[in-house]
Amino acid sequence: MFAKMIFENKDLCIGYDKSFDEQKRVLVAARDRGSQTECERWVIAHISVDKVRKLRDDLDEFLKKWKIKSSYQKG
């Protein structure tokens, strides 16, 4: 789907392609699970680096508020 994936699972993909160098936009694709067609549909959005940072910060705050610890280990 994308040239470079940052995150991917069966319902959400986040990545960037060669246009990132010019536009500094991250691509976010979410599977349209409510689609009534036989074809798999994805909704794609382009978000700025600033909005990616805000999303990261908001998610961090959400996890702290609910005291949710990550099972993800870097490295």
Domain limits of the chain? 4-65
| Residue owning tokens 């805000």 | 54
Q: What is the pLDDT of residues 22-58, one digit of tens each?
A: 999 999 999 998 877 788 899 999 999 999 999 999 9
Look at residue 74 and tell me whether its pLDDT is greater than 70.
Answer: no
* Helix, strand, or coil (residue 65): helix
pLDDT score for 69? 82
Long-range CB contact pairs, 52-55, < 8 A, 24+: 52/26
CA distance 75 to 66: 25
Q: Write the DSSP symbol of residue 73.
A: -
Look over the chain and give the mean of its residue pLDDT values, rounded to a whole number: 88
Q: What is the DSSP string of 22-43?
A: HH-EEEEEEE-TT--SSS--EE
| pTM, to two decimals | 0.74
